[in-house]
Amino acid sequence: MPDDIDRKVIELIAQKKKLDPATVTLDSTFEQLGVDSLDAADLLFTFEDDFKIVVPDEVATSMKNVRQVVDGVRQLLATRAEAG
Amino acid sequence: MRRVAVTGLGAVSALGVGVPAFWDGLTAGRSGVRRITAFDPSAYLVQVAAEVPSFDPTAHFDTAQSDLLDRFAQFALVAADEACRGAGLELTDTERSRAGVAIGSGLGGAATQDESYRKLYAQGLTRTHPFTIPRIMSNAAASHVSMRFGLRGPTLSLATACAAAAHAVGEAAEMIRAGRADVMLAGGAEAPVVPGVVRGWEAMRVLAPAPGGDPSRACRPFSRDRLGMVLGEGAGIVVLESWERAAARGAPILAELAGYAATSDAGHITQPGIESPARAIALALDQARLTPPDIDYVNAHGTGTRLNDSTETTIIKRAFGPAASRLAISATKAMHGHAMGASAALELIATVLAIRHGIVPPTINYAEPDPECDLDYVPNQARDMPIRAAVSNSFAFGGLNAVLVVRGV
């Protein structure tokens, strides 16, 4: 079942790329969604703003599909919660 | 068409002030990348840059002059002085009306802009200094150089990002070829190491952090473990003259600016193309009446980003065909940083000196071969070899490509 983070990430990507959110799945790759390197930097900036996280470059470079974004965001949120 | 001679060189870079410091650093494989000193970078993700070390404006200008000069224009004037001295350039009043300037700069007076905005928005001031605009404007460097030497021919500033100096030198050479000028001071100047600009580059996620806290290893062009580019600053200025004029006055002809071509990708605002850059190389070789086997050295655009270096390798293979595998290729940005609008001028100077001395500066910090970058990048050690002719590549954001061809004399 998709949770809030899944939904929010998909919503943000769909908004940015002017896509119907229903067509974006966890398995959609950046390539399939037409997300190039500049779009990716733009999206990361949006995720950082929206989730109040900082995405380090090494995490950012591992994000090539929606699931990797969601996993990355989830981990960073958990780290932030621990750091309190 | 008239031929174009290079008769003077001037450089201000992270390797020091002056061409000797620049060339010593390049051949020694020394990195000019250090922790940022222009501001406290502690809160920044990227804390290193290739800044000009211990540049003291008072050594070059009195306060009445320097008050009007942003750092990028100061660099340009110091480099232009050196280039004109080296060329032994003495122009009569009539000659000065047929001499001009072309200087590239991506940003113009970035430090002045950053500082004045900080005063307005952070400190809440309601006035900026009356010299703010004359210092910021992109043509300030070119105008000050024309004023310093009394050059009253065509003066231009070009703002084509990372290729600005190559466009400036190339277009200046075209003016001489076309007979619109006899002498041109051409090159680029940039001083982008200011908070707002560094933050902007950070956000694009193309800057290399300093691995293990060692800034000198940050930029690793063509190496599999490359992590990105490093911002630099400085200026490079060359004196270009019509061949007849230079020969008639017994000028020190250092090399021939034999070819230039500019093309555009008309594709993506940041991702490099392949076809148009390769075509720029081919067109520049055509103008120089050279073919791929005539070229011994390529000074690469070589920024050290994942995408640039693999794409440039493909571009070089496309343009040079089978001759690509015998080229010596190096990316000097690992040493002088990516000085944006000044880069191509510094790289042209490196190329001219490589030909004159028969030494190819190395690509430093090269640690591991990358299957996507499988040419000879002259790793880590300078190489002694005769160079008949060389190519300098510049491929800017915005898909703007400029290629210069230099021939030895």
B129-151 tens-digit pLDDT: 999 999 999 999 999 999 999 99
Q: Determine whether the interchain pair B204/A36 forms a contact, defined as Cβ–Cβ distance below 8 Å.
A: no
Average confidence score pLDDT of chain B? 97
Q: How many CB atoms lie within 10 A of CB B94?
A: 7
Lowest mean pLDDT among A1-15, A25-39, B153-167: A1-15
Tokens of B209: 């952090």
B196 Cβ under 8 Å from any chain A Cβ: no
Is position B129 annotated as part of the catalytic site? no
Q: Which residues of B touch A37 (CB under 8 A)?
A: 270-271, 307
B218-229 tens-digit pLDDT: 999 999 999 999
According to the model, what pLDDT value does residue B197 have? 97
**Cα first-last separation, chain B:** 18
Is position B301 annotated as part of the catalytic site? yes
Q: Is residue B8 within 8 Å of residue B240, measured between CB atoms?
A: no
According to the model, what pLDDT value does residue B172 have? 98
Find the closest chain A residue to B201 by CA distance.
Answer: A41
A60 Cβ under 8 Å from any chain B Cβ: yes
Q: Which residues of A touch B226 (CB under 8 A)?
A: none
Pairing mode, if any, of strands B183-190 and B234-242? antiparallel
Q: Determine whether the interchain pair A36/B45 forms a contact, defined as Cβ–Cβ distance below 8 Å.
A: no
Pairing mode, if any, of strands B16-17 and B34-35? unpaired
Q: Determine whether the interchain pair A41/B204 forms a contact, defined as Cβ–Cβ distance below 8 Å.
A: yes
Find the closest chain A residue to B270 by CA distance.
Answer: A38
Listed residue (B356, B151, B313) closest to B222, CA to CA: B313
Q: Which residues of B touch A45 (CB under 8 A)?
A: 203
Q: Which residues of A touch B268 (CB under 8 A)?
A: 36, 38
Q: Determine whether the interchain pair B203/A37 forms a contact, defined as Cβ–Cβ distance below 8 Å.
A: no
Pairing mode, if any, of strands B389-396 and B297-299? parallel
How many angstroms separate the CA atoms of B391 and B298, rounded? 5
Which is catalytic among the residues B144, B167, B336, B338?
B338
B1-21 tens-digit pLDDT: 799 999 999 999 999 999 999
**Which contiguous run of DSSP H or E holds residue B262?**
strand B255-264
According to the model, what pLDDT value does residue A2 have? 61
Per-residue pLDDT band at A21 (split at 50, 70, 90) = very high
ipTM for this model: 0.82
Per-residue pLDDT band at B49 (split at 50, 70, 90) = very high
Whether residue A58 has pLDDT greater than 90: no
* Longest pairwise C-alpha distance within chain A: 37
Predicted TM-score (pTM) of this structure: 0.95
Q: Which residues of B touch A57 (CB under 8 A)?
A: 45, 205, 209, 227-228
Q: Which of A47, A48, A53, A57 to mutate to test the interface with B (most CBs of B within 10 A)?
A: A57
B205 Cβ under 8 Å from any chain A Cβ: yes
Whether residue A1 has pLDDT greater than 90: no
According to the model, what pLDDT value does residue B54 have? 85
Q: Determine whether the interchain pair A38/B205 forms a contact, defined as Cβ–Cβ distance below 8 Å.
A: no
% residues pLDDT > 70 (chain B)? 100
How many angstroms separate the CA atoms of B69 and B63, rounded? 10
Per-residue pLDDT band at A84 (split at 50, 70, 90) = low
